[in-house]
Amino acid sequence: MGNPKVDKDIVIDKLMEVFRSVGYDGASLADLAAATGLKKASLYHRFPEGKEAMAHAVLDHVADWNEKEVVAILMSSKPAEKRLNTVLDSINDLYNGGRLACILRALSHGTAADLFRNEIAAIFQNWVVAFAHLAADFGHEPEMAKRLAESTLIRIQGSLILAQTLQQPNLFKNALNDIKSDFLKPSGNK
Amino acid sequence: MGNPKVDKDIVIDKLMEVFRSVGYDGASLADLAAATGLKKASLYHRFPEGKEAMAHAVLDHVADWNEKEVVAILMSSKPAEKRLNTVLDSINDLYNGGRLACILRALSHGTAADLFRNEIAAIFQNWVVAFAHLAADFGHEPEMAKRLAESTLIRIQGSLILAQTLQQPNLFKNALNDIKSDFLKPSGNK
DNA sequence: GTCTATAGCTAGATAGAC
DNA sequence: GTCTATCTAGCTATAGAC
């Protein structure tokens, strides 16, 4: 296939940056071209289906990251507490300590909502399954483990919104700590 | 001022519907005109500053609703538990049991992020103050009361995202229940 | 595979009749 | 205060040279 991956990952990374900061509808082809350093026509050469395909490529990349950095770790055989800490650290890095928006949320609105809902839902569901698995290893009952996993995603998404709107990144850090203590707690409440 | 409020509230309500379902960047003047039943030129007659002014009007309306239905109730002298239940019911209605997106979040992204951040942040902060007041009345220490109030907003925002993406409104209902038990709990954890 | 140039359209916003 | 008609700028997308 010639030399197909020269800087493909960099391009996807730059596309992601734009989508995540201004959303799908807010991202113009001119923005995307400027961010990648490519001209519009070159972007269309790589993504013949246009902007929609660019967002799909970004989501595929996110799904891969998710499998490697979250699901695989949470499902591994290391000690439960170590798994939790490793993943929460990754998540903290991913969002730069609460300063960066979530790409999944950015692609959940406006025109994008209908286009990408299924892909995004699949990623969320993988997180829930993986975190529920971890919660079970911490000794939580199945039903409670699932609630705890859902609550984890809820806290991450909600705290990112507040952290960015109020420009208080600590709200995100606090949420990560709350998540940790929820998992460590003996069970019986959420 | 003649007859200035013929259907002004209805217009604002329709504008809000559009912004909340497709976001600020996703909402075209054509969409807004169609939803209100007015032509574009008529919208500009009412909002000479254009789309931005329409969103500001919507936010003002939201701020008013917030003062009446949330802040005033939470600050009243009724029993704490009754105040909590009343407000959570209002919030549940507002979002139609988790089926509707939050207008504040819809206006927090893309181009809109910079335009409306201060107004939205002010509304969030009012919620935090009011819920912290309630938490104090439930016997929580000041520091914990504030954390609990922040956690309340986080749970609402986060659960709305998940509820809509996964199309499971129950995730929102569960979050409201979790909020309730957090307030009722003796304190010591969040 | 990248570029310049441009087509075709829709966006936000106005002019001016009624 | 509402309308039809229209302007200009920006949008997504394509053609075709290199």
Q: Is B93 exposed, middle or buried (0-12, 13-18, 19+ CB in 10 A)?
A: exposed
Query: Which of A60, A48, A59 has its CA nearest to residue A20?
Result: A59
Shortest Cα distance, chain A CAs vs residue B82, angstroms? 22
B51 touches strand C (CB under 7 A): yes
Q: CA of A26: which chain B residue's CA is closest?
A: B110
**What was the pLDDT predicted at A1?**
38
A110·B23 Cβ contact <8 A: yes
Which residues in chain A have their CB less than 8 angstroms from residue B148's CB? none
CA B11: distance to chain centroid? 18
Query: B30: which nucleotide lies closest, measuring CA to C1'?
Result: C11
Shortest Cα distance, chain B CAs vs residue A54, angstroms? 17
Q: How far apart are CA A7 and CA A108, in angstroms?
A: 27
**Chain A, window 5-34: residues with a beta carbon less than 8 angstroms from a chain B beta carbon:** 22-23, 25-26
Query: B38: which nucleotide lies closest, measuring CA to C1'?
Result: D2
Q: CA of A150: which chain B residue's CA is closest?
A: B171
Query: B26: which nucleotide lies closest, measuring CA to C1'?
Result: C11
Shortest Cα distance, chain A CAs vs residue B96, angstroms? 18
B99–A contact, CB cutoff 8 A: no
A77 touches strand C (CB under 7 A): no
Q: In the predicted model, is pLDDT for residue A186 greater than 80?
A: no
Q: CA of A175: which chain B residue's CA is closest?
A: B151
Per residue in A97-132, pLDDT tens? 999 999 999 999 988 999 999 999 999 999 999 999
From residue A168, alpha-carbon distances to A126, A164, B155, B161 in Å are: 29, 7, 17, 20
Query: Which of A39, A33, A41 has its CA nearest to residue A14?
Result: A33
Amino acid (1-letter code) at residue B161: I
Pick B117's closest partner by Cβ from A108, A109, A165.
Answer: A165
The integer distance in angstroms from the CA atom of B81 to the C1' atom of C8 is: 61
**What was the pLDDT predicted at A187?**
63
A110–B contact, CB cutoff 8 A: yes
**What was the pLDDT predicted at A6?**
53
**What was the pLDDT predicted at A188?**
52
B159–A contact, CB cutoff 8 A: yes
Q: How far apart are CA A18 and CA A53, in angstroms?
A: 15
Per residue in A54-91, pLDDT tens? 999 999 999 999 999 999 999 999 999 999 999 999 99
Pick A166's closest partner by Cβ from B113, B121, B189.
Answer: B121
**What was the pLDDT predicted at B189?**
47
Can you give the pTM of this predicted structure?
Answer: 0.95
The integer distance in angstroms from the CA atom of B136 to the C1' atom of D10 is: 52
Tens digit of each residue's pLDDT, chain B (190 residues): 334 445 999 999 999 999 999 999 999 999 999 999 999 999 999 999 999 999 999 999 999 999 999 999 999 999 999 999 999 999 999 999 999 999 999 999 988 999 999 999 999 999 999 999 999 999 999 999 999 999 999 999 999 999 999 999 999 999 999 999 999 987 654 4
**What was the pLDDT predicted at B187?**
63
A171·B190 Cβ contact <8 A: no
Q: CA of B119: which chain A residue's CA is closest?
A: A165
Contacts of B148 (CB under 8 A, 6+ apart): B131, B132, B135, B140, B182, B183, B190
Q: In the predicted model, is pLDDT for residue A189 greater than 80?
A: no
